[in-house]
Structure 1
Amino acid sequence: MIKVVIVDDEPKLRQGLQTLIPWENLGFTVTAAAGNGRDALKIVEEEVPDLVIADIRMPVMDGLQFIQRLRSAGHQMHCIILSGYADFEYAKQAITYGVAGYLVKPVNIAEMSATLKLVREQIEEERLRREWYRTEVTNRELYLRRLLAPQEKTEDPAKLRSRIREMDLLWSHYEIVVISPRVPEADRPEHLHQLSAGLKHGIEGRNRGLVTVIAPYVILLLNSPLHGRQRRDHLYGEIRSIAGDTRFIAATGGTVSEPELIYSAFLKAQEAVKQVFFSAKDRLLEPERTLFAAPEFPREAGDRDEKRMEDLIFRLYYSLDAGNKTMVLPLLNEAAAFFIQQGQEEDAVKQAFFFLSNRLIHKLTAASRIELKETETVSRFLNGIYQQDYLSDLLEETHRFLLEFAEDAGPKGKEQEIKQMTGFIHRHYAEDLKLSTLAGLLNYSTPYLGQLFRNKTGEYFNTYLDKVRIQKAKELLAQGMKVYEAAELVGYTSVNYFFSKFKKYEGRSPSDYKNP
């Protein structure tokens, strides 16, 4: 039976329609009635009728407003409009809402019955069409599942092609896309169903291909290749709008032109999903595409990977400890490329970054002469390495944390060392003082100490030494000492060199500072 809801503000007319029209003989059953459009909306949500018969003139919400609300809410049931006025304007507006009939009150039973017969034929035809479509799509979906399984070598290619043609799956191109919701295992079935249902409308409803579910994936078989970044991004946007807040990975296996190759494309798409950690974020992944193109590291006999790892740790420590922030991220990227070239998978790369970060934290702490404690911040960072979904996020977080940690740990030990260095300069400026001398005293390499000194004082070592010497010379000259004597006492063996330095920093001759 076809379900009907009657909406009219006149109780006698509602009752009359229910009793005078031979509903059952015509294949209908009246399931409910309402006195205005607002009440009818609630009934429609509960009953989901196939046909609504509504009066034009009603209080609270009239018939046209009611039908408009039905269409806006996505309801596609048939509608018949009743009106006490033979008003063509009403008829025109009703037609825009896709009404099945427009009858003038008082209702003529014969006319109503004739209209109902036409509506019944339309509804039955639509039901047959939907049933055929469901059956056809189901058969095609089942056959798609067969194409996504390894093909038996004994299968006759001609018969396979014939069956594919029968299923209307013989296309010029095929592109497989797999979508994996990133949700707990217990919630996965529900998310797969919701995602699949949402995608069917845009893919199958627009004749763009088929949608099926083979856990843990929703699978799209598209009949048109996703050539170009714009088309891939558009599809990714469609998936994201349907997925809502649910995180997911989507990957294509590339375009193939033979149905027998669909399975191999499916395998490539699955492999791309597995490599998501190495890929760019918020994009449709592609086969054999990673975010990092690892440079070639020469591999010598005896395997020097361990030495290269130590070298990376040393250079990172050097940059962090010297405050050379610009070098840290490039070195982390180099480390990532090195790990990738070694063929390491996601877990191994995360473990390598855990080891590298832990070593750096301990070296930074030891160099600053403070005790490393198992702080919550350090533990959270190190454990968080294993929670990162993308290598790019892991690099960004590692970069951020190491810079902050080096900055926090650095001054506590380095300020004392810089104070020692500047004090040493002020005490020994007249001697043949060299940076290498201080480096030896403080147990640092000369380049490292030079970088550290500049970062902390804002001056190169030699510039700082020259300025101290010139300041001391000014004091001696002001006391009446001769220029050559002052030059010698502050550490310059050449008077001409002293003159050039003095003029460089003071802008005038040493003689100008002598008392008359």
Structure 2
Amino acid sequence: MYSVLIVDDEPLIRDGLKSLIPWSDHGFQVVDTAVDGYDALQKLKKHSIDLMIIDIRMPGMSGIQLIEAIRMTNSNIHFIILSGYADFDYAQKAIRYNVTGYLLKPIDEDELIEILGPLKAKMDKTKEIIQLQSHNLSFHKDNLLNGLLNTEYARENLDVQSKVEQLKLDWKKFTLVLIKERISTKQDANPLNSLKEKFETTFEPQKGMVFSSEHYLGILLKESVKTEESQKNLYETISKTANKVSIITSISEEFSSIYEVKHAFHETKSLLDQQFFYKESSVLKKGSELFIKGNQPTSIEILHNDFPLQDYSEKIYYAIDIANNEALSERILEAAQVMVNLHFTEEEIKKRFIQLVTNLLSKCSVAKPGLQRVITEVTISVVDIQNQPNFQSLVAYINKIFREIIGKLDVGDQTGQIKKLVDFIHRNYHQNLKLETLADLFNYNSAYLGKLFKNYTGNYFNTYLDIVRMENAKALLSQGYKVYQVAEQVGYTNVDYFHNKFKKYIGMSPTTYRKKEKTENAF
């Protein structure tokens, strides 16, 4: 449908033209009316108009003056003039403004329809030519950009130089934006081809140039997008244009020559290809932060260059068993860290997590038959691990699965609370732990908590804490740490006090123990 604006100061004329003519039968639609020339100019800012029907005599601004004002900036709108007999000579002057036709008042419906038929045919032909030109231009753009991306020494290539000149790509600055569909279900070479025309309408020619390459849609901008605000505005424009299509976007650093686009393309493409590993962000760019950095230490030694599935099944199951959400998150995150250290791909990470979650749900099903219903419900959710768009959402999703199970556990009984306390000691033995402080944390009287703890572990709180510290001290001494370093790392500020404690529980001094371990390890 072609859009129509009716401009006349007489309400009867405006309403009559709008309602009496079967506009849609002839390929037109009246989108608005205006009471004078000034009103018409305001309506032009609001609507995209193809045809205006204008009264030649109106107060303030005549129809001729209105057409003259519009023609200064727009040569595409068509005009039909309405005039009285006395205005016939005046109306003929409008011919120089490329007016399609004029009608004498009172308006004859058939005469207007006779004008609309040929006008629509002419507009259809023009539209077809524009689309064909647009298609050819799109082909040339893609051809040039892919030439720049794939041609060695493109700057010296005469054919590439010629195309650069034809497309007038002598801009002072460039920024490349690369867009990729998050989940592609289509079979064509570039799933974003269906969106290309929309992006061309949004960005060309004022802001830049749109092209296709491989499975990506590129926007070559002729402006700076360095600030957070400008990047936010750009992403909002891109998202609005993409509408409901889920996309991911990366942006290059600014460059000064079109011949540098190859480097910018590989820079932005690499970001998109590795987007799974970055923290959630609207736009990926150089310096974007990884969700988990590689080669960070973990508590379990990696053997045979593979993920220790059983070890982490036990660690995470323990956190679930004592209903400790904090420990659960820490262990899931550490499992993820191990996979990053092993340089797993996105597919390998998702595969291992599916195995890990399945293994844990099986353990929970056997050990906690009372939770069978919730376990069955969350088991259905395992398939969605594969659909998580990035590492951050994947880890959050797995946490959510197990927290649903924890949420159904009866953790208010004394045994559950003591299990949480024991776990807390093992994770924080190096801190200045006191029963009184922990009793407050667990909402117990300290004397009563001490009795519960003794009944559960067989040891008083301070004795149990000392034992945990001594076991960790032994491990550190075996690794060759100095006595004062070990004392500090396991929670003792006084080395002599640590020395006495160690001798009491282990039966020898820390120095003697370290020498003994060194001798035994030598053989």
Partner in structure 2 of residue 250 of structure 1: 249
- Structure with max Cα Rg: 1
8 A Cα contact 1:37 1:62, kept in partner: no
Structure 1 residue identity aligned to 2:388: Q
Distance in 2, Cα, partners of 1:217 & 1:181: 8
Distance in 2, Cα, partners of 1:177 & 1:467: 62
Structure 1 residues 172 and 246: alpha-carbon distance in aligned structure 2, compared to 1, 3 A threshold: same
Q: Larger deviation: 253-262 or 232-241?
A: 253-262
8 A Cα contact 1:296 1:341, kept in partner: yes
Asked if 1:463 corresponds to 2:464, the answer is: no
Structure 2 residue identity aligned to 1:228: T
Structure 1 residue identity aligned to 2:211: T
Distance in 1, Cα, partners of 2:26 & 2:187: 28
Structure 1 residue identity aligned to 2:47: A
Distance in 1, Cα, partners of 2:155 & 2:70: 50
The Cα shift of 1:144 comes to: 3.4
Distance in 2, Cα, partners of 1:178 & 1:201: 17
Structure 2 residue identity aligned to 1:391: F
**Aligned pairs for 1:55-134 within 5 A:** 72-77=46-51, 80-83=54-57, 87-88=59-60, 94=66, 98=70, 105-119=84-98
The Cα shift of 1:454 comes to: 8.4
Deviation by residue 1:309-346 (Cα, 9 ceiling, x = unmatched)? 55444332222222222222233223223212321111
8 A Cα contact 1:209 1:221, kept in partner: yes
The Cα shift of 1:243 comes to: 1.8
**Aligned pairs for 1:230-249 within 5 A:** 230-249=229-248
The Cα shift of 1:217 comes to: 2.7
Partner in structure 2 of residue 380 of structure 1: 380
Asked if 1:401 corresponds to 2:386, the answer is: no
8 A Cα contact 2:295 2:340, kept in partner: no
The Cα shift of 1:43 comes to: 5.1
Partner in structure 1 of residue 295 of structure 2: 296
Partner in structure 1 of residue 352 of structure 2: 352
Deviation by residue 1:373-414 (Cα, 9 ceiling, x = unmatched)? 896413312211112122222212211221221343566xx9
Structure 2 residue identity aligned to 1:463: Y
Structure 2 residue identity aligned to 1:74: S
Distance in 1, Cα, partners of 2:197 & 2:90: 41
Structure 2 residue identity aligned to 1:303: L
The Cα shift of 1:235 comes to: 1.1
RMSD between superposed Cα atoms in Å: 5.4
| Structure 2 SS opposite 1:176 | strand
Distance in 1, Cα, partners of 2:342 & 2:453: 52
| Structure 1 SS opposite 2:56 | strand
The Cα shift of 1:236 comes to: 0.9
Aligned length: 408
Structure 1 residue identity aligned to 2:94: T
Structure 2 residue identity aligned to 1:36: L
Structure 1 residues 323 and 71: alpha-carbon distance in aligned structure 2, compared to 1, 3 A threshold: closer
Structure 1 residues 148 and 311: alpha-carbon distance in aligned structure 2, compared to 1, 3 A threshold: farther
Partner in structure 1 of residue 493 of structure 2: none
Structure 2 residue identity aligned to 1:198: K
Structure 1 residues 136 and 347: alpha-carbon distance in aligned structure 2, compared to 1, 3 A threshold: closer
Partner in structure 1 of residue 320 of structure 2: 320
Partner in structure 2 of residue 24 of structure 1: none
Gaps of 5+ in 1: 15-32, 55-59, 423-434, 470-490, 492-516
| Structure 2 SS opposite 1:36 | helix
Distance in 2, Cα, partners of 1:158 & 1:227: 33
Partner in structure 1 of residue 220 of structure 2: 221
Structure 1 residue identity aligned to 2:56: L
**Aligned pairs for 1:260-339 within 5 A:** 260-281=259-280, 283-286=282-285, 289-294=288-293, 296-297=295-296, 303=303, 306=306, 310-339=310-339
Structure 1 residues 40 and 202: alpha-carbon distance in aligned structure 2, compared to 1, 3 A threshold: farther
Seq. identity, % = 16
**Aligned pairs for 1:72-221 within 5 A:** 72-77=46-51, 80-83=54-57, 87-88=59-60, 94=66, 98=70, 105-119=84-98, 137-138=137-138, 141-152=141-152, 156-157=156-157, 160-161=160-161, 163-182=163-182, 185-186=185-186, 192-193=192-193, 195-206=195-206, 208-214=207-213, 216-221=215-220
